[in-house]
Structure 1
Amino acid sequence: LLVPPYYYRDRDDGLVSFFELISKSVDIDMVLYNVPGLTKVNLTGALLSKILDRAENIVAIKDATKDLTQLADTIRTIGKRVPVIAGAEEISYFGLLAGSPGATSAMANFAPNLVVDMYRAIKKNDIPTASSIFFEKILLFRHLDVAAVLQGFPIQIVYVKEVMNLLGMHGGSVRPPLTQLTHEKKEELKRVLEVIGKSGTLGPLSMKQRVSREK
């Protein structure tokens, strides 16, 4: 998983050369991670197309721009060359509808059945079910401490670990500079979990659940 250089930045030609150099230096497949919220470098569909022309062992793109217009354009531009994965939970639903073959999910750590059910509903063209899961459950969790999220802080990592700990799944604690949740934030999280968990959606998938979802 490879991100663009985020300290010294140059024009597009420099980025293309950067990825070409890495591609020629290793003999393993690579997934390019476009996460401008953290790197401050945005890889558009047009730029990614140039990179793919010069870096043959890039096999997929994880796109976490959270810009639905750009995500759709990236899928349109290079989606037939490599898979473009929706790389942020809040765009997963839209990415799958737009043609992404998959999406990454933080919630899958503690509510995998929610994510799987949304994915399968979309594949079956059951949009009402997928929409209900996404807007009523998944986004509810993602909007916790939205002010911190908008400032670019990876606060969701803290929430995911706390949920796992509450469920006895040993999520552990975050490392500095990230900080633990305050008592008030933990209580807010518990209220959200009560809503999400009403349909028995929390916790790891049992083998029986996995088999039933594969049918």
Structure 2
Amino acid sequence: MSIAEAKERLRGSIAPIVTPFLENDEVDYKTLEQLIHWHIESGSHGISVTGTTGEPSSLTLQEREKVMETAIQAAKGRVPVVPGTGSTNHAETLHLTKLAQEMGADAAMVIVPYYNRPSQHALYKHFKTIADAVDIPIIVYNIPGRTAVNLEVKTLSRLKEDCPNIIGVKESNKDFEHVNRVLLACGRDFLLFSGIELLCYPMLAIGGAGYISATANVAPEKVAEVYNAWIAGDVKRAQDLHYELMPLNDVLFKDTNPAPLKAALGMMGKIYPKLRLPMDLPSPELQQEIRAVLEGYGLLSKAGSGER
């Protein structure tokens, strides 16, 4: 996908898919394929794997590669696929980003390195080196709550100017003033995606391209409809959906993502509810609350109301 095509196609609800595991802790690639088909049929505008919701730090390098390959092959070009290729290791990030390009991914999402807490100068060098090594469009992923460092607007703007294939950013940043200044500094054609559920709709209002929302895992149709309504000019419908989804958003983040999400998907019969340690499922009390919320949304059918 060219840069121009990417800027046209990479919009709306890009669903960050969980990585399903079998009971024996192995990656369940068959279920991953089924989830991708379900998302496309449900109207998700794109697919992302091995981002935060996909537990990349719990996967081996080989597993990350196979998850990426599985997603690209399952999508068959029906929607864009944007794998997360970043890690705290520069060489590994470079390898995975190059591989995403070779596999035919439509773009790569590269997270700000976590744990290391690099300086802004080091972040610039990290992202520029990766961007210069590939032709694939890159979406920078800024999530200071997980990485312990914020990619500053000046740094991002400099990267956008110096690297033509850095075309956007996923901002999992609760500082709404910050995200406004991203578009002011980087230009309105820069693709701004929300990674904060309660900012998905507000981000569209300031000129955002869409969102990469974990909630899409359990309610892909409604999450995609927020964008569809906004683009169609039905502001009231978009607002109504924004508030309708709030209780679901809230319960899915009462524990660290994707623990509540995987519990919910297990209750829906979509996956075996399993995380790899050191992550684990939420407490029984929270699971009861999740079940009650899912029932309220009509997401538990008789056939899919039990864990697999």
Partner residue of 1:139? 246
Partner residue of 1:176? 277
Partner residue of 1:207? none
Task: Supply the distance in 2 between the matched residues of 1:146 and 1:116 (Cα, whole angstroms).
Answer: 19
| 2:124 pairs with one of 9, 13, 16 | 16
Task: Supply the distance in 1 between the matched residues of 2:265 and 2:203 (Cα, whole angstroms).
Answer: 26
Structure 1: runs of 5 or more not aligned: 149-154, 204-215
Partner residue of 1:32? 140
Contact kept in structure 1, 2:229 and 2:237, CA below 8 Å? yes
Task: Supply the distance in 1 between the matched residues of 2:250 and 2:287 (Cα, whole angstroms).
Answer: 14
Deviation string, structure 1 residues 94-117 (Cα, Å, up to 9, x no partner): 111111111112122221121122
Partner residue of 1:213? none
More helix by share: 1
Partner residue of 1:120? 228
- TM-superposed CA distance for 1:56, in Å, is 2.9
Instruction: Give the structure, 1 or 2, with the largest relative contact order (CA under 8 Å, sep 6 or more).
Output: 2
% identity of equivalent residues: 28
| 1:100 pairs with one of 202, 208, 213 | 208
TM value normalised by structure 2: 0.57
Q: How many residue pairs are counted as aligned between the two chains?
A: 193
Q: Give the residue type in structure 1 aligned to 2:297.
A: I
Task: Supply the distance in 2 between the matched residues of 1:202 and 1:104 (Cα, whole angstroms).
Answer: 24
Deviation string, structure 1 residues 61-86 (Cα, Å, up to 9, x no partner): 11111221111111222143421111
Q: Output the aligned Cα RMSD.
A: 2.2
Partner residue of 1:72? 180
Q: Give the residue type in structure 2 aligned to 1:135.
A: Y
Partner residue of 2:91? none
Partner residue of 1:89? 197
Task: Supply the distance in 2 between the matched residues of 1:23 and 1:40 (Cα, whole angstroms).
Answer: 23
Structure 2: runs of 5 or more not aligned: 1-108, 302-308
| 1:42 pairs with one of 129, 150, 161 | 150
Contact kept in structure 2, 1:45 and 1:75, CA below 8 Å? no
- TM-superposed CA distance for 1:6, in Å, is 2.9
Q: Secondary structure at the match of 1:174?
A: coil
